[in-house]
Structure 1
Amino acid sequence: MTPTPGPRLAMSAEVADALAEGRAVVALESTLLSHGLPPGRNLDVATRLERTVRDAGAVPATVAVLDGQALVGLSPAQLERVCAEGPELDKLSLRDVGPAVALGRSGATTVAATAALADAAGIAVFATGGLGGVHLPPPGAAVTWDVSADLGVLARVGTLVVCSGVKSVLDIPATLEVLETHSVPVLGYRTDEFPAFYRRSSGLPVPGRADDPAQVAAVLTAHRQLADSGLLLANPIPEEYEMDGALHDRLLAEGLELLRTRGVTGSDVTPVLLEHFHTASGGVSLDANEALVVANARLGAEVAVELRP
């Protein structure tokens, strides 16, 4: 039997009402919950993220595809389902959303898919953990064609993405170059250096800086009047949760070797690397991951409040 899909995009009543009334809304991704955190903790983080957004004066809109419907804003039961099914859910980048909807499938949305669906719903701000980027070349290769879809989507949708930079396993200089090529502004939030997820700095400068949510909102408003691309707000992990440099470097070296020996490439890189960090750090990376994504959700909500007419 051919599955019968529902509407291509369905907003929860709360999100639809907030947008209609001009209230602040912040999109949240679901792949972090399904593939990035262990069972139990993922639901705790999911509810904490939504509560953090509400406490800052905005409405949370967690995004996922369930039974062929692209959903912007999940009910408590839907949020529990995403966390309970976890890695059993498909991991949906933007290219995968159409097939999932047409075939009645379910999946969690990546940064690329979440940013695009948020933009389609009229949501200007999206808070996440880390952005995808350009992968380092495999051994023996001079270049790589492995570039995250996150960058291409930011080039053509006007979403503000609040994140803690990109993971240090990526080619950060090349990632910043691709963002520049696609005219995506990059702002450091109260920093002049681009963060590297678990670490507050990659050692690379950011092209611009903002020191409060009102400045970010002003930049986004001006940019959207002049260009179609999105904007990246790089918010370093809270200082007290930054991973120790020696521990980080050891885990990264071990993780890269694990990727090499297993032959892991493409979209499987991040889950495997995160799993190694989580298991080999004694929980340090899990605490860091939660702290940074909560901080980004709070900042995203503060910016969204400033954007209200």
Structure 2
Amino acid sequence: MEDQGGEELCFPQLLNASCRKPKLQQSDAVLMYLLFFISMFTVTLNLLVIISVSHFRQLHTPTNLLLLSLAVSDFMFGLVTPVEVYRQIACWSLGDVICSLHCFVSSFSLCASVGEMVFISFDRYLAICDPLHYPTRVTMRRVQMCVFLWWIYSFIYFVVFYNDILTQPGRYNYCYGVCLLFIDYISGVVDTVLSVIAPVTVIILLYMRVFVTAVSQARAMRSHVAAVTPQPSGNVTTKKSELKAARTLGVVVVVFLICFCPYYYIVFCSMQNLPVDVFVQALAIFMMYINPCLNPVIYALFYPWFRKAITLILSLQILQPGSRETNML
């Protein structure tokens, strides 16, 4: 059935109470359907990261624990991606409670990811800029506590922030067949500052310092090699390892910023009631949701231990007795 304007209704039997079926341009629809398939890879790849770091004892390091936490948040983000695709291209028929939970879990997992990026930046900052004190300052117990507290904070923050839709699901849905989340201007500004501007500023400042220090250390190591030292010291080997990790995780951080900044630009424009092209909006959403899939790809390109772990997992060798003690490095 169609309404008087010639547009199809989501629930024709409800007449004026029903929303109109969403209409997307072909390019927008292609992006959304592509996003649906990417979500499958996101869930699969991050699950491999979770299994790898959790199973193999040699990978139980503070830095890898941060990667594990990031993979968990990315895994959650990948799980809600198909729901977001459905929300964008179809009439919402999953109910107001699922709508509220979807908005909550999406924001919660995203906030957790941002926090992990900040922790990763701090980890590399201490490892490169203060290597002598790094082993005593960055321990498994401290990292576990920081990760635990951040997840608790993120959960409580969004329970309070989304109190309206969690206690009154569907409060802002003006018709049947839509899943909407309304955030007032003041709350939007506060959330943008706390969830985006402040963390991104910290990440950029820390990695600028890491980059400057890494360049100077790389020059020092080249000078050390040029001096033809008979036996390289263990300290030089450690610095090379830390610099390599800083480079790899730096790629993760840069890709994160590239993927998420366009989305928050769209959010800023919507808060200011500025017009945004539909395709640009769809592309920004696509980039945000593809980022969790890219992190494991980066690990596979730069970390031999992750490629080895994938082989052991897919061949089911991790089911063998003693596989936890496998040499992965």
TM-score, normalised by the number of residues in structure 1: 0.29
Relative to total residues, which structure has the larger strand share, 1 or 2? 1
TM-score, normalised by the number of residues in structure 2: 0.28
Greater Rg over alpha carbons, structure: 2
Relative to total residues, which structure has the larger helix share, 1 or 2? 2
